[in-house]
Every structure is written in C-alpha cells, then in structure tokens.
C-alpha cells in the first residue's frame, strides 16, 4: 500500500467513524475509491455510487441532485462518489464506459446501473422502488 492509499484509507476510516455517530448514516455523499469501495457498499443496506469525472459536463449537472438526495434520503440510502479517472480499477470492474453512471447496491450486491444525468424527481422515483 503506497502513501496515497494509506491517506485515502485513513480519510475513509475517519468518514466512516464520523458517520457512525448519531444514526450511523453519512451526512452527504462519501468519497469512495478503489481501496474502500467494497467496504462502503457493504456497510449500508442500500447504497448509490455516483461514478463521475471532473471534466464531465453531465456529471457536474447531476452532482447537486446527488447532494440533495443524500440529504432527503438519509437513513434510507447512503450515497457515494467515485472519481473514475482516479479509480480506474473499480470503474473497470463495473464496466463503466459512460459517465455519469449510478451504481445501486442492496446488501452489497449491485442491483441496478443508471447511466446518464436524470432529473431529480425521475431519479428519486426510480430509487424509491428499491426501498
């Protein structure tokens, strides 16, 4: 494990520790990467991971939607954000060829893959089917 991986792990451990206070759900989207992806999607009954990149226009459009939904659906769905440029291993494992892509996990198993920037209401309606 190189120094950057150690820093990422420490940051994720700190985030997970902070999120375990109170009701145990994160306050907003959690930054995930190759080193902590599996731990994150396995920690909560239902998770959605936003796969994005900094240069992606549609990713920038959906980012505030993900932020809002993470607040509105706290306690039901945990949201994560995966920068595909920095975490190519995970992107490759889940066959992410277009972004934004939302990966939906239930009990640690992927149950859906949503490609594209959906409006908030449409995305929330789709996610509600998994609750």
**Catalytic residue numbers?**
56, 59
Q: Strands of 109-115's sheet, edge to edge?
A: 30-32, 78-83, 46-52, 101-106, 109-115
Cβ atoms 26, 69 nearer than 8 A: no
- Alpha-carbon distance of 31 to 89, in angstroms, equals 15
């Amino acid at each position: 494990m190189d120094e950057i991986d150690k820093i990422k792990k420490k940051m994720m451990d700190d985030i997970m520790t902070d999120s375990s206070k109170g009701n145990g759900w994160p306050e907003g989207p959690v930054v995930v990467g190759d080193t902590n992806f599996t731990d994150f999607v396995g920690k909560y009954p239902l998770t959605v991971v936003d796969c994005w990149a900094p240069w992606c226009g549609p990713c920038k459009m959906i980012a505030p939607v993900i932020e809002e939904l993470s607040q509105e659906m706290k306690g039901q769905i945990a949201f994560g954000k995966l920068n595909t440029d920095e975490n190519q291993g995970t992107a490759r494992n889940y066959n992410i060829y277009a972004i934004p892509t939302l990966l939906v996990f239930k009990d640690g198993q992927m149950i859906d893959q949503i490609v594209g920037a959906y409006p908030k209401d449409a995305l929330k309606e789709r996610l509600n089917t998994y609750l």
